[in-house]
């Protein structure tokens, strides 16, 4: 039987991908982030997940506003990399597990989550940057991935509460899978940041730290927040934080915190939280 072994919340900042590709993760600017993820790699080696469900969002890479899904689940054996405007990065395709994905889609759709199921889906920094921070892609990614895309671009977005419930349903769906898989759930996005308008560059570290407290110990408080409240506190683009709720909803009510980190060099709080499931 498959089971969830842990959860991780982490931001997905595009410039980290650039620094990674250029071998600059140990320059003074990026060393704090590099160090933040050293214990994560040890933790991952210990809990040894076989599949990662990565809750992320597309950034105008594969999805367009002609047909914009609320929740899109990847159901393929591999996911190519999209082109974010600068040509592709030197990364292999992400490995999937179509059978596991389709199992999840059956459980979730029959449990009243109205997914868009994707047999073709191209990945962008929303998923790839967290992968870069967790795993080496050479010669190939060492883990299989299920991409779960959430609309955080075009309002109406799914509510924080809905994302939380999606996580809870995801846990049940994982536990109904007959094969022995050790599943890590990653929620990406945030923290405080705003990229549009005169308020560009807005950050709020106090709120980011509060969010990290709440998502660990009192996630229902975040689940009750509206998008308006999230944007006021953290900037328009910080609504991405609703994706952390899906991760947290998939974990046991009580969790054991392993690591927590925060670094905000430029326009976004780059956070990390790793949680072990109580089973």
Partner 1 sequence: MAQLEPNRPIDGTYVFDWRLSRKGYRLNKLAFSLSRAENRDAFKENEEAYFDRFDLSEEEKDLVRKRDFLGLIRHGTNIYMMLKLGAATGNGLYQMGAQQRGETYQEFLATRNVGSAT
Cα gap 144→76, rounded to integer Å: 11
Cα gap 214→210, rounded to integer Å: 6
Instruction: Please confirm, yes or no, whether 12 is among the known catalytic residues.
Output: no
Q: Which of 39, 69, 80, 93 binds its own copies (CB under 8 A)?
A: 69
Contact between 20 and partner 1 per CB under 8 A: no
Beta-bridge partners for 149: 56, 72
Q: In the window 138-177, what residues touch partner 1 (CB under 8 A)? A: 153-157, 159
| CA atoms within 13 Å, Cβ hemisphere of 250 | 34
- Identify the active-site residue in 125, 137, 155, 227: 125
Instruction: From residue 100, give the alpha-carbon distance in Å to each of 93, 97, 106.
Output: 18, 5, 10
Q: Which of the stretches 39-47, 81-89, 142-150, 179-187 binds partner 1 when contact is defined by CB under 8 A?
A: 81-89
Tell me phi and psi for residue 174, to 5 degrees: -60, -45
Instruction: Please confirm, yes or no, whether 155 is among the known catalytic residues.
Output: no
Q: For partner 1, which is the closer residue by CB, 59 or 171?
A: 59
C-alpha angle 72/92/16, rounded to 5°? 75
Contact between 90 and partner 1 per CB under 8 A: no
Name the DSSP class of 37. Answer: H
Contact between 59 and its own copies per CB under 8 A: no
Contact between 84 and partner 1 per CB under 8 A: yes
Q: Which of 23, 66, 85, 196 binds its own copies (CB under 8 A)?
A: 66
Active site members: 125, 193
Contacting residues toward its own copies, per CB under 8 A: 65-72, 105-106, 109-110, 112-121, 154-159, 161-162, 165
């Amino acid at each position: 039987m498959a089971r969830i072994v842990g959860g991780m919340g982490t931001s997905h900042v595009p410039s980290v991908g650039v620094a990674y590709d250029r071998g600059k993760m140990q320059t003074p600017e990026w060393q704090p982030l590099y160090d933040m993820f050293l214990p994560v790699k040890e933790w991952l080696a210990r809990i040894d997940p076989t599949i990662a469900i990565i809750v992320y969002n597309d950034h105008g890479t594969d999805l367009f506003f002609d047909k914009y899904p609320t929740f899109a689940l990847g159901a393929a054996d591999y996911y190519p990399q999209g082109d974010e405007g600068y040509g592709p990065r030197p990364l292999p395709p992400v490995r999937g597990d179509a059978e596991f994905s389709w199992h999840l889609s059956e459980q979730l759709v029959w449990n009243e989550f109205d997914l868009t199921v994707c047999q073709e889906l191209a990945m962008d920094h929303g998923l790839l940057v967290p992968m870069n921070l967790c795993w080496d892609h050479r010669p190939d990614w060492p883990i299989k991935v299920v991409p779960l895309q959430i609309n955080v671009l075009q309002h109406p977005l799914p509510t924080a509460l809905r994302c939380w419930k999606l996580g809870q349903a995801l846990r049940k769906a994982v536990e109904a899978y007959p094969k022995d898989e050790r599943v890590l759930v990653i929620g990406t996005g945030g923290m405080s940041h705003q990229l549009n308008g005169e308020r560009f560059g807005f950050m709020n570290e106090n709120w980011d730290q509060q969010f990290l407290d709440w998502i660990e110990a009192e996630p229902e408080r975040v689940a009750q927040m509206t998008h308006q409240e999230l944007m006021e506190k953290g900037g328009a683009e910080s609504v991405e934080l609703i994706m952390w709720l899906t991760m947290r909803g998939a974990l046991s009510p009580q969790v054991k915190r392993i690591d927590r980190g925060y670094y905000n060099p430029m326009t976004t709080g780059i956070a990390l939280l790793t949680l072990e499931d109580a089973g």
